[in-house]
Amino acid sequence: MTSEVVENEFEFYSKAEKYWKDVPATVDGMLGGYGHISSIDINSSKKFLQRFLRDGPNRTGTTRALDCGAGIGRITKRLLLPLFKTVDMVDVTEDFLTKAKSYLGEEGRRVRNYFCCGLQDFSPEPNSYDVIWIQWVIGHLTDNHLADFLKRCRAGLRPNGIVVIKDNMAQEGVIMDDVDSSVCRDLDVVRKIIRRAGLHLLAEERQENFPDEIYHVYTFAMR
């Protein structure tokens, strides 16, 4: 539980904001020096996501997606814009969203909204999104804020829409990273929070071909 490792909630959030303000607005910056894994990450995410976009009675639509913790738009550019008509981006760091406007190029015209906001304070517009993509950012939310945010995401889905979390998973328990003021939870803790938010797990997959020295990364789809 984050309550065991986060002593001061205000400090937990403000320290993270300060950390990201000093990070370069580049793909390498977004990935903590692991920019070279970006293509492996995107290709796996695309395969995972496309199983829900294929034909069928419960097919997820491709009208609008939301990129949470979007940074400069690495995922928006390479995963979401190629698959969805429009995308919205939300990130706590204004400089990243400013950089996104040039980084995304021509296709960036299909980004409708750039929301500068921490996810603990953000509410997706109800009944609006086919896919809400949340990658490498849940560690910046306390358990309570994450559960509440996921509830708001659930309300933000269109019919057959899905919420996707892709993130690092600890081997056991909850580990605090004092450098960027984030936590890393184990699979059981994340699944519990998903259930607590009233979401039903549709698929879960471990990312392959990442460097051995980093945490295992898992992707979850839910609605």
163 closest CA partner among 127, 202, 132: 132
Helix (H, G, I), strand (E, B) or coil at 86: strand
54 is in an annotated binding site: no
Q: What is the rounded CA–CA span in Å between residue 8 and residue 165?
A: 25
Q: Is 74 annotated as a binding residue?
A: yes
Contact 103, 72 (CB under 8 A): yes
Beta strand residue intervals within the chain, DSSP E: 64-68, 86-91, 111-116, 129-135, 157-169, 174-177, 182-185, 201-206, 216-222
199 is in an annotated binding site: no
The reply, when asked if residue 93 is annotated as ligand binding, is: yes
- Any known ligand binding at 92? yes
Is 50 within any annotated ligand binding site?
no
Q: Is 146 annotated as a binding residue?
A: no
Q: Which residues are annotated as a binding site?
A: 69, 74, 91-93, 119-120, 135
Q: Which residues are annotated as a binding site for S-adenosyl-L-methionine?
A: 69, 74, 91-93, 119-120, 135
